Structure 1
């Protein structure tokens, strides 16, 4: 009333100026509130970025991402989806509500049911056994297939999505959404997952700022998830290397026990017997010594072969190399009853030492497999060099095998030769191709870009 009185006593131009200033003040206040909200959101985003960057375990990371989505958008529920290995389905990996996000203690895991549950985490992302939606199905699936940012504020009236499409997301969200956001997680140009948040309250919705914040979070999350996956793969590789070293020590122990150790024991016994022959049967002494000499020679060869397998020194010599190492390796089989070995090595320019060692280990494994398992008459070992790549091939005319069946049974076989070859090839960024069919032999080829 006082304001009206003052305005009534003032000239019209002054009253108009005051009204304009009051409107400007209100506009500035709203803008200030918006900026303060934006600053708070950016501070939360910075905190989230620091948290995600420090979290290398995938299980808690996924929940942190879901909780962050809630904090940034003020949504009622959030879901983190990851794309499966076939790139055909999204799988719910973590889901949060405002209530579950309040938990600041240890992140608990929960088994996945037919629909997502608050606080759920997939312990092993490679299993993909939780609730899924096809890429292209539902709002989240559309975001994954199109790579688009999706903002829906009136789910029942949005012309892009019918009620059937919205119901797919509703089943996974656990609510009937009136508003939702779906943003793809993109890493190296490919969609790796989707972040989705939703409201079921008609009075609540999302704006362009919420969409922009979720997009930023999705970019950070995509990188964090890939880092966590890489960390997990590295841990698995570390464990595999440790196990491989242990298996190699056991194999070396068996080889030493069954070969040189047995022969050395036999030599000791023969020498003791020869000592007795000096007085009792000098004529038989010469024959016994000859037998001991033969056993000693055989033991020496076996020890050299074991040392060669452990460290082929010829690869370290200036006049050595891959071709020379292969020749030395194949010489041990000249008197065996296995396949006839044919070596053709056109290898004028040497590779870096570590690369040669790896290529040799792969070819050595392939040759051993052909000799032990192929029942072949011939085995061809070839090394060819072109301008841009080195190609090695181990080929036999043996019984071959069913590749698919072998892969299906691999974990129960207790032998990891083919897997070790593939992993060694990946270490030097080479392409390993194994082709085999029953009764048609086997070809193992390795292509290394120079």
Structure 2
């Protein structure tokens, strides 16, 4: 209360009627929001008024407290930075956040030549007022930075959450965590089952620099400590830490350091390393906590990408096994039977030439059927869709490919869909449904003719793939184990559409798909038409 009363008595020293403390506080806040030359001039004027109001000769302030911008201010007899050898000055370290944060340093000239207790009290009041104003400014800036970082953390975790390619997600993690704490360099070390660094992904170092540095780290020093102990580490100065192992030649200089293990269900999948906070300041415990929070999301993203990779590998193995069974049970057995028939024909060519000729004719017919079956397999195994313009171009490419590989006559009819500007993702899904339907025709229908009809209807787009093959009984049900039909159903559902399969024994099959479409009328305007189920 004594400080406030003193400032109230000196209120006349502030031209706008504010207390000097309030004026300095407002000037600090304005300078932090926009550290321009104008704000610096206004801050200096408020600082000088505070010094003068407390009856001291001069003061010099150094601010060194992230997230506050660096600042040096002088007033009165200490407009310039004072020499360190002056013993008539009073130097005080300013602290905030209940003494936990160093805010800077204040040097005061109390004019010791005048033995006045009031001046000594004025110096104490000035120190206290500046510390209070600086502490409040730092707290506001830190709260703003914390809120900003929470937004950045949310954006960073969202960026890596939906990525399933392992290499892509690893690089994204390194790039995002580097930006999150404003580090110059970041790295992600992936460890193997023995705890050794198996992969080392970096951000902030160019390819040329990496080549000059040479092999990635082996896991000694500070990096190895995190690998072994699986705990976070915050080091203000790497060179001064006795656990530091040193840098290889051509390595960029590094000073402050953060290391955080990436854990999933208690097991380590890697470690995040960050060095050199931008601006030349050391990392803080807030930075460390932010990286730790991000590392938990990073671990989940890495595990998801690895799981997706394993599922893909298992799917490939299962598909290979299925192909092997189909080839063995069908085509290979047929070719083996042809070989036996030709052997018998060779034995009877002289004694029974007519029978041998008949066997050879049947062998030729069987080989032609085997060639047809092999072509059908080729069509079903080619996953790529030929690059064409739009839905109609893609369907035409599919029809040409089907005709070439199966020798089955096929007709394409498209009405009202040429002018539709479908999203590429929707076009590819429709083409994938058509390919799956044609693959079923090639493998199972034994058809001589097939058709593709794509029409624009009020409900959206109607795609029909039909054949004149063997069909199947009307009462037959296909469960989820039928992969081709399941794929088509899932794709149609993903487009918000419906699928209907119509077939009769010896009268062919029709697969009908209806999906809504989004037609772009003008930039920024869309119309969604729902399919009527």
The structure whose RCO (Cα within 8 Å, separation 6+) is larger is 1
Indicate the structure (1 or 2) with the bigger Cα radius of gyration.
2
Range into which the TM-score falls when normalised by the shorter chain: 0.3 to 0.5
